[in-house]
Structures are given as structure tokens and as C-alpha cells.
Structure 1
Amino acid sequence: MAARIDHLVTSGTFSLDGGTWDVDNNVWIVGDDHEAIVVDAAHDADAILAALGGRTLRAIVCTHAHNDHIDAAPALAAATGAPVLLHPDDLPLWKQTHPERAPDGELVDGAVISVAGTGLTVLHTPGHAPGAVCLHAPELATVFTGDTLFQGGPGATGRSFSHFPTIVDSIRDRLLTLPPETVVRTGHGDTTTIGAEAPHLQEWIDRGH
């Protein structure tokens, strides 16, 4: 059986630089009837466990370490035995949320995470956060972009650890080079495609979020 993509939305808060906001997060589960990985364990470990439905969880992959994307990761790891994987450049952010519990493994640019016969390639895409990554699954014609690319433009870069020129470089060089039909599955909000977003790069630069 080919891998499929399951989706749930969890709700909680995002906190950084002294502010807190209510947010809804996309949680993506990639796998088959037997095994899966979770992309961004946000807010509600019990809801994610229910969506897994008893499947073996191979990894909890963090697209970046803002608290709303990792707050449920330790609980989900404890419940399943799955390792939490994070790019090392985001360890300072991780420690703000989980100072007593380190990730279990590192995400490295170009590494391939395999589940249910499907490979997801790690693309280091800094800008929204130093260790932000995207996961490209060519067999599924999908890229999981976390908060790097949304429908309508780049992720926010107005807070600590973020940098607008860097996120534009990441999107241009790592994402807009993917096939235009590639579905962009984001950390918040609706999906889009590479082809729908690519024509707007110059507009984003001109706006200079």
C-alpha cells in the first residue's frame, strides 16, 4: 500500500518575544496502515495519537522549534517511543519550550526520511527560524513547508531568530525549483501549490515583509 497523507488541525497558543497568540496548526501524518511519521506535533498529543490509530510511529519531525509546532512532541514521543527530530540550528528555540528535554536526533539537509516505502527529503530552509526545514516527498507530489511558505507568501519574519532576506532566498532556491504541480502543505491555513506561489516572488520581495 502506498503512503497516504492524513491531516488534523490542533489549537493552542504561540508565544515568542513576550507575546502570546491563539493559533490553529496543521499536523500532517504520512504513512500507511502500519507505520507513519508525524510532521509537527502541535498542541494535542492525544488527538495525534487518535489519528495514528495504533500505527507504529517512526519519527516526530519538527519543521522548526516555535512552541506551537513542538509543544506536544515530548508527550507524543513518550507515548509512542518515536524519536523527535529537529535541525540543530533551532536548538535555542527548542530550549525555550523544553529546557529539560533535548530532541532525539538531528535533521540534516539532504537526508531522506523513509516511511511506508516513501522518501521525504529534508530541505534546510532558514528564515522563519534558523533551523527551519521543509520535507519534499516527490512520490506524493508534496512538500511540507511548516511556516516557511504559505498560501500567499513567506512565513513571518518579524520576531526573534527570523530574517526576511534569508527566507526569500530559501523559498527561491529550495522550494520554487520544485515541480509546479507540487502541493504545498503548510503549518497553518490552506494548502497551495508551487506553481501558484512562484509568480509572486518579486511581489514578496518588493513588499519586504
Structure 2
Amino acid sequence: MSAAAPGGLRVDHAVSSGTFSLDGETHQVDNNLWVVGDDAECVVVDAPHSVDDVMALVGERKVRAIVLTHAHDDHCRIAPALRERTGAPVLLHPDDKPLWELTHGGPDDLDATLWDVDLADGQRLEVAGTTLQVLHTPGHAPGAVCLYAEDLGCVFTGDTLFQGGPGATGRSFSDRPTIEASIRARLFALPDDTVVHTGHGDDTTIGAERAALGEG
């Protein structure tokens, strides 16, 4: 599925299935795959379960970056393999290093691998003539970010904001007051008609979620 914009710019979407593991528990999950670009180049948002699933959306395009909204394993598991397939750098906020290391190894692991570029709040990522603005939104994870595409009227929220409210905060490295503060300060500053492309489940809008949290 894709949503097109003028000039060939579009958002492509699919769903990939696998597992999520943290704090000694493992669950089956369906993750949204998002690819932003045009016919020539694109950016991949998150790298969950299957390189082939991602590449089916990418096609023959040049992948400029693999941008991770956070480092839970169901969002970053295949990042190194996708980097190897595409040659694109992996971008992650450095505050998520402890979570990344749970999946990809720490300092004492000879097979450990790191991401390539640190994300920073306010950073602007250019692709296909448009811009993805990085919004640091900690709470679900310390280094969680959202990616705002003003030209496309949408924001990619990972697991920070879903249809029906904030992402989960009952596990390690998460905090409910922090995620609510992030949503109110960063996401609710966006226009109400901004489409929210989530990490799992259906789209929503900023306005709908503002009302759900009693903000509008």
C-alpha cells in the first residue's frame, strides 16, 4: 500500500510479523513497515523482522538511510542485515544504546555491532526532495524519536503514540509520565490533521489523540 504526494513522493506501507522480547518475555507482534521516498531513492523507517519484507517495499530504489524510532528488538533486529543488503547507514538516538546492546551485543561481545549515525532532536533528514524532522520523544524508550514529514502531512511515531493513546511503559527503560510529557510537548504541537503512522496497528491523527488525552 502506498500514499502518494505531488512529484512522485510517497509513503509505502506493509506489515511484517515476528517476535518482541524484553524482560524475559517474548510475544508475537505485527510491525508496520514504512518507506518514504520517490521512484529513485528512499528512507526506511525501522527494521523489524524480515529483510525481504522491507526490500519488497524498497524495490530497486537507493536506500539513503535506515532510521530507527527506537531500539526494541522488534524495531531494530534486522538493521545490520538491512545495512549489509542496501549499503545504507543505520541511524539511532544514542540514549537507546542499552536497548540496542540487548539485541546486537555490548562491549564484551566479540560479535557486537553498532549503528552508524547518532540521531539528535531537531535533526533534518533529506530524501527525495522532502525532509523528515527528528523529534526526540522519550518515554517508551530513552532514545525514542518520531519523524515529522511536514510536506506529507504525517508523522512516524514508532511506539510513542498509537491510535488510542501512548505506547506501553510497563517494561525496562520506560516511564509513563515521560512519554505523556513527550507527546504533549512535541507531538501535540503538530497540526491536528497530521496523520500518525504508528509502529503497530492503524493510523490515527494528532487531533484524535489530543482529544483522547483530554487535550482538546
Please indicate the TM-score interval, normalised by the length of the shorter structure. over 0.9
Measure the CA separation in 2 of the matches of 1:121 and 1:2.
20
Alpha-carbon distance in structure 2 between the residues aligned to 1:98 and 1:146: 20
Structure 2, unmatched stretches of 5+, are 1-6, 106-111
Matched, 1:87 2:87: no
Report deviation, 1:202.
Answer: 3.9
Tell me how far apart the structure 1 counterparts of residues 82 and 117 of structure 2 sit (CA, whole Å): 15
Identity of aligned pairs, percent?
66
1: distance between equivalents of 2:93 and 2:81?
Answer: 19
- Residue 2 (structure 1) shift: 3.9
Q: Please name the residue that 1:185 is paired with.
A: 197
Q: Within 5 Å, which residues of 2 pair with 1:53-72?
A: 53-72=59-78
Q: Does 1:123 align with 2:123?
A: no
Runs of 4+ in 1 over 2 A off after TM superposition: none
1:118-164 deviation per Cα after TM superposition (whole angstroms, max 9, x unaligned):
00100000000000000000100000000000000000000000000
Structure 1 unaligned residues grouped into runs of 5+: 204-209
Report the equivalent of 1:174: 186
In structure 2, the residue matched to 1:207 is none
So what's the TM-score if we normalise by structure 2? 0.92
Does residue 62 of structure 2 align to residue 50 of structure 1?
no
What CA distance in whole angstroms lies between the structure 1 residues aligned with 2:166 and 2:8? 31
Question: What's the CA shift for 1:50?
Answer: 2.0
The amino acid of 1:180's aligned partner reads D
Q: Which moved more, 1:47-56 or 1:14-23?
A: 47-56
Q: TM-score, normalised by structure 1?
A: 0.96
1:132 maps to what in 2? 144
In the aligned structure 1, how far is the partner of 2:60 from the partner of 2:84?
14
CA distance in 2, matches of 1:172, 1:115: 28
* From 112, 137, 142, the counterpart of 2:124: 112
Count of residue pairs brought into register by the alignment: 203
